């Protein structure tokens, strides 16, 4: 049951990740560059709350992992109840208007350069995020930090990413050209990774701060996915391609970093590898951020 529940929850999260950008494009249109960052801030905030509160909740309820799981299971129920009025509204619209089913030609999507630029950017940014989240605490423990202090450094990076998730799109990302915000957060990641590669020093918190800025790339990534799709009907398949392949490749990132660090007997080579990935991300960010749309075929 544990594995089945984990699988179902993972499928639900993956589906929501793909569909949310589509909903924003359909419902909010030109305002999505202002509203998507708020979604990612809520996402990051509740992820942080989940990490901090799950154990205390479990300790004060069932004394095991089930207590925290039961409490968090209430949130999807609340979300479903909040979504019911929207579903009824959409049903009325479909009845009142003639619904035209539009299908995307997946072959043309996979042969489109813009689609691959967006997907490549998602691969890089997701690899950087999951690799640093997985190994940053272990790095600090190997440098002599306590487990609590190492966890605090990761929490610091997450805390930094929350305000920057709002600030970067608002200051630099108001428009269809998303090169500036993407280059900014990727450069911050590069600085942080190079700093980490050369070991523990008094400036370590600066490198973690820069990594936190780099983790604020999600709103810009989602904005790029939505803006590069010409229509709402294209946004779904493009989101599925970018996030599906992006997370698939990113799942290998922590494994590769772990193998490199063990083989090299330290963290320098591993962080230099991530810095190299980040340089690729600069190129992908420039290409995906350019103001242009996909050229896929639509079939009615």
Model confidence over 72-98: pLDDT tens digits?
888 889 988 988 887 776 666 555 445
Domain that holds residue 255: 2-299
- Number of structural domains in the chain: 1
d(CA 97, CA 249): 41
Average pLDDT value over all residues in the chain: 84
Q: How confident is the model at residue 99 (pLDDT cuts 50, 70, 90)?
A: very low
**pLDDT for res 222:** 85
Instruction: Please tell me what DSSP assigns to residue 61.
Output: T
**pLDDT for res 75:** 86
Per-state percent for the chain, helix, strand, coil, to nearest 5? 85, 0, 15
Helix/strand/coil (H/E/C) assignment for every residue in 76-134: HHHHHHHHHHHHHHHHHHHHHCCCCCCEECHHHHHCCHHHHHHHHHHHHHHHHHHHHHH
User: Which of 18-22, 23-27, 101-105, 224-228 has the highest mean predicted lDDT (pLDDT)?
Assistant: 224-228
Q: How confident is the model at residue 102 (pLDDT cuts 50, 70, 90)?
A: low
d(CA 128, CA 280): 11
What is the CATH number for 43?
Answer: 1.20.1250.20
pLDDT score of 299 more than 50: no
pLDDT score of 210 more than 60: yes
* Mean pLDDT value of segment 2-7: 74
Q: What is the pLDDT of residues 215-233, one digit of tens each?
A: 998 888 888 888 888 887 7
Q: What is the pLDDT of residues 138-157, one digit of tens each?
A: 999 999 998 878 888 888 89
pTM of the predicted protein model: 0.80
Torsion sign over Cα 189, 239, 288, 249: positive
- CA nearest 236: which of 118, 135, 112, 103? 103
């Amino acid at each position: 049951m544990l594995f089945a529940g984990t699988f179902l929850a993972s499928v639900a999260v993956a589906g929501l990740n793909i569909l949310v950008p589509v909903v924003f494009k359909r419902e909010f249109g030109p305002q999505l560059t202002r509203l998507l960052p708020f979604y990612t801030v809520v996402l990051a905030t509740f992820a942080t709350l989940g990490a901090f509160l799950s154990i205390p909740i479990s300790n004060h309820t069932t004394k095991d992992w089930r207590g925290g799981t039961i409490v968090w299971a209430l949130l999807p129920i609340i979300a479903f109840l909040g979504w019911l009025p929207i579903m009824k509204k959409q049903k009325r619209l479909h009845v009142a208007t003639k619904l035209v089913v539009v299908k995307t030609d997946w072959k043309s999507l996979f042969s489109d350069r813009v689609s691959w630029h967006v997907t490549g950017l998602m691969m890089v940014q997701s690899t950087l995020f999951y690799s640093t989240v997985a190994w940053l605490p272990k790095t600090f423990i190997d440098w002599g930090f306590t487990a609590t202090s190492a966890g605090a450094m990761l929490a610091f990076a997450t805390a930094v990413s929350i305000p920057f998730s709002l600030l970067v799109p608002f200051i630099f990302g108001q428009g269809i050209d998303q090169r500036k915000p993407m280059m900014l957060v990727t450069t911050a990641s590069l600085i942080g990774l190079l700093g980490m590669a050369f070991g523990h020093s008094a400036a370590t918190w600066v490198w973690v701060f820069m990594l936190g800025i780099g983790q604020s790339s999600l709103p810009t990534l989602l904005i790029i996915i939505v803006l590069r799709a010409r229509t709402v009907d294209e946004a779904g398949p493009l989101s599925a391609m970018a996030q599906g392949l992006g997370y698939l490749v990113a799942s290998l990132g922590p494994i590769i970093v772990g193998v490199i660090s063990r083989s090299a007997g330290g963290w320098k080579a591993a962080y230099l590898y991530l810095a190299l990935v980040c340089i690729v991300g600069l190129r992908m960010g420039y290409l995906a951020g350019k103001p242009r749309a996909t050229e896929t075929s639509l079939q009615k």
